[in-house]
Amino acid sequence: MSQANRRVLLQRMAALGVGTVAFQRALIAQVASTERITPEMIEQAEWIADVELDAEQRQSVAQAMERALADARRLRKQEIDADTVPALVFRPDFFYAQADEPAAGRSQPVHLRWSRPSKLPKHADQELAFASLSDQAALLAAGKISSRELTALYLARLQRYDPLLHCVVTMLEEPALEQAAASDERRSAGSARGVLDGIPWVAKDLIAVPPWKTTWGGEPFRDQVRPDLATVASRLNEAGAVLLAKVSLGTMAWGDRWFGGLTRSPWQPERGSSGSSAGSASAVAAGLSTFALGSETLGSIVSPCRRCRTSGLRPTFGRVSRAGCMPLAWSMDKIGPIARHVDDLAYVFASLLGPDGKDPTLVERDFRWPVEPQLDQLRVGITGDKLNPMEESARDYLVSRGATLVELDLSSKLPTGAMSFILGVEASTVFDDDFRQAPKADYGRWPSTFRQAQFTPAIQYVRANRLRGQLITETERKLAEVDVVLGGDDLLLTNLTGHPSIIVACGSDTTENGAALPGVVKLTAAAYREETLLHIGSAIQRALPPQPLQPNLDAALQQLTKDAVE
């Protein structure tokens, strides 16, 4: 072991306050001779973390700490000038304002124009369930259907197909029908609130909607009722949207398995729907709701939309309030819409924008929809990552419309992977009290992360965030060179930097057994360019509509019933 590495370990233990100087140096000698961190060493440090672990847990933490030490070395190899500030910004002005109890204003400029379809769509039940938000709004406006009828259709589908998909946590049948009836009354009185009035939706069950439960997908919280209505739910209430159900997420926003089982993809029910917006993506893809809200910290909108072959928007960090939504990582969480049609994402996104006096990260930016179609001047970034077949088709389409391809290298000399622990440290802080009080409860995949985070020095966390600030600036400069980036394996990078992405369901793909299902395209852009992402995504989806649009749920349900009987 080099002198520098001995010094790193000594500094880390000193920061933790682990033992006496003599003990620290003895421990360093052990690590130097074995090149390992042992369970015995972890046991010696438990007092400073104020935790008590068993032998198996010590072994797990020791292995994790060895990996963390390797990451710490990578971080420390990066020179940081004294003028480099961290990517965490102290905002006392926000908290000063709380003393005055400000009203939750919405000063954000939103310019939204509803583009009515040129002709009314069919409204047979199956077609209506998968119709776009705009088509449903046109039928409501023309009096061809009522919100109550549309709501009842989706409630029936949720009841029918949830045994297959396991996406519903709490059905809200009675309040949904009441909201729908109120919407119909407003429309009859000529006072409809806009394009979302009467449109049904479902909420990822980390969005608080009292007096109903908000379970966070976790057994320890399955009876929890949060006191305050989440801002995003409040905004949709104001717009007249009808909440059908709270839907599943993997335990505390990790994965697609929760206390109700494994949420499944409608296109491939033998597979999970990915996480953590598992129920949101599954329900929308299955035609159980017009749209949903999900959240992303590290892939939780992008991943389930890919798996469930539906569209989803992960906005720029700071554009949509997280107030009233389960925090996982304060510096990474984002709330965004999921829908089958890209245009629907725009209508929902517009309704969520604006400061609320509760989330200090919110920024004010103009949003206009729709925008004028211009593809011939686009600069489309292509990274070295392999495109999937549908992304290749999207590339060819954009080039045919005059777009220019630009090679773009989003890789960095900064140790991006070594910064990933930021999420774990912040999540461990969120759940620290609960985990200490009930360490044996079912926290899904999280316990090892919670234990490891207790041994992470504050210096390492702040240092990583100083380097993260450099990563954000570097990435924004690169993304600003193009209008959009097509494809790319950048989930960790862009979630650390807060940049927006969209998943577009389009065209046709096949599974391993030859079954047909839609393909998906991922697009990423510079900060606050949601309009660009939505515009290009909409153009791609219109040129390459998803075929087929509807999964064969009845066949899968029949097979499930048959298997249960046998």
Sign of the CA dihedral running 325, 329, 331, 333: negative
Residue the block writes with tokens 């009845």? 554
Distance CA 42, CA 59 (A): 8
Of 147, 300, 321, 538, the active-site residue reads 300
Question: Which position among 183, 276, 311, 321 bears the catalytic label?
Answer: 276
Kindly list the distances between the CA atom of residue 70 and the CA atoms of 3, 131, 316, in Å, as whole numbers in the listed order: 15, 51, 31
Asked whether 289 and 200 are in contact (CB, 8 A), the reply is: yes
Please state the three-class secondary structure of 204-248 as a single string. ECCECCCCCCCCCCCHHHCCCCCCCCCHHHHHHHHHCCEEEEEEC
User: Letter for the amino acid at 199?
Assistant: I
300 tagged catalytic: yes
Per residue, what are the HEC states of 289-345? CCEEEEEECCCCCHHHHHHHCCEEEECCCCCECCCCECCCCCCCCEEEEEECCHHHH
Would you call 204 a catalytic residue per the annotation?
A: yes
CB atoms within 10 A of CB 417: 11
Residue 246 annotated among the catalytic residues of the structure: no
DSSP sequence for 368-419: EES-----TT-EEEE-SSPPPHHHHHHHHHHHHTT-EEEE-----SS-TGGG
Catalytically annotated residue among 134, 146, 204, 334: 204
The answer to whether 478 and 410 are in contact (CB under 8 A) is yes
Nearest to 168 by CA among 221, 247, 282, 222: 247
Q: Any idea which residues carry the catalytic annotation?
A: 204, 276, 300
